[in-house]
Amino acid sequence: MTKEMPVIYVISDALGETAEFVSRASAAQFIGVRTRIRMVPYVRDEAHIDDIIEEAIRDQAILAYTLVLSKLRLYLEKKAIEKNLRTVDILGPLLKLLSEETGMEPSNIPNITHRMDEQYFRKVEAIEFAVKYDDGKDPRGALYADVVLIGVSRTSKTPLSMYLAHKGIKAANIPLVPEVAPPSELFEVSSQKVVGLTLRPDHLNTIRTARLKSLGLGASADYASLQRIVEELEYARGIMRKIGCPIIDATGRAVEETAALILEILYKGERNV
């Protein structure tokens, strides 16, 4: 029987991406426990906090928050203590430590990391790049990409490309199909810039079968055939070995986890994970 984790309210004066990532990463450590996360972004005043507290009482929620304004952090903690709610301050302790180390006060500007700066435009450019060079639509993208993801169908190439794009990484992805020769561009770039993605055959079979059903097609189609999948994976591994690129087995890994491994490969030169 699946256990349920208390609702986690992710409270932020911006989008709440940091608190959400920490919450999901923490919850993922409890296998078999269903996690419910509610996002509460752009909290800018005490009245909004009062509303959140009232709703959190009904859910007996855990409050995970990233609030840069100290008055809002203190107010939220005060109200949570009054109502016997548990809280996790994700930014506060580090802000305090950095302030002590530098002798400076934080700027207390909400959403400062999302300002229209160079990093923001790099992310937008990376997203546009991922869309343009998705699924091998234009193999020339491999020549200009920061990373090229290769693998058979349904190995999460597109979701990973988009996730990496939000980190400012220009990712192109190219599908490997036995009946179609890989584009020449794939062999013209550094092998360290190419990452091969693979899955266990049974896991890929489950994913493809579900995909066919969602399209109203029969699960017996060759696309989901275990024999066909094994042949495709062997073909893909042969291409990856020829290129000499790192290979990641993404079986059972969330997109975020696989993306972290890809970034580790790019920055540290790891080979097989």
pLDDT in tens, 221-261: 789 899 999 999 999 999 999 999 999 999 999 999 999 99
| 271 pLDDT higher than 50 | no
pLDDT at 115: 53
β-partners of residue 40 are 11
Output the six-digit token pair for 50: 């009062």
CA 150 to chain centroid, in Å, comes to 18
Query: Residue 84: which region, alpha, beta or left (left: phi > 0; alpha: psi -120 to 50)?
Result: left
Q: Is the dihedral of CA 110, 116, 121, 127 positive or negative?
A: positive
What are the pLDDT digits (tens) for 168-204?
A: 899 999 999 999 999 999 999 999 999 999 999 999 9
**pLDDT (mean) for 21-31:** 85
pLDDT at 220: 62
Break the chain down into helix, strand, coil percent, rounded to 5. Answer: 50, 15, 35
| 212 pLDDT higher than 80 | yes
C-alpha torsion 264→267→272→273, nearest 10: 0
Residue ranges and CATH numbers for the domains of the chain are 3-114 (3.40.50), 118-268 (3.40.50)
What are the pLDDT digits (tens) for 77-136?
A: 999 999 999 999 998 888 888 888 899 888 777 665 555 566 778 888 999 999 999 999
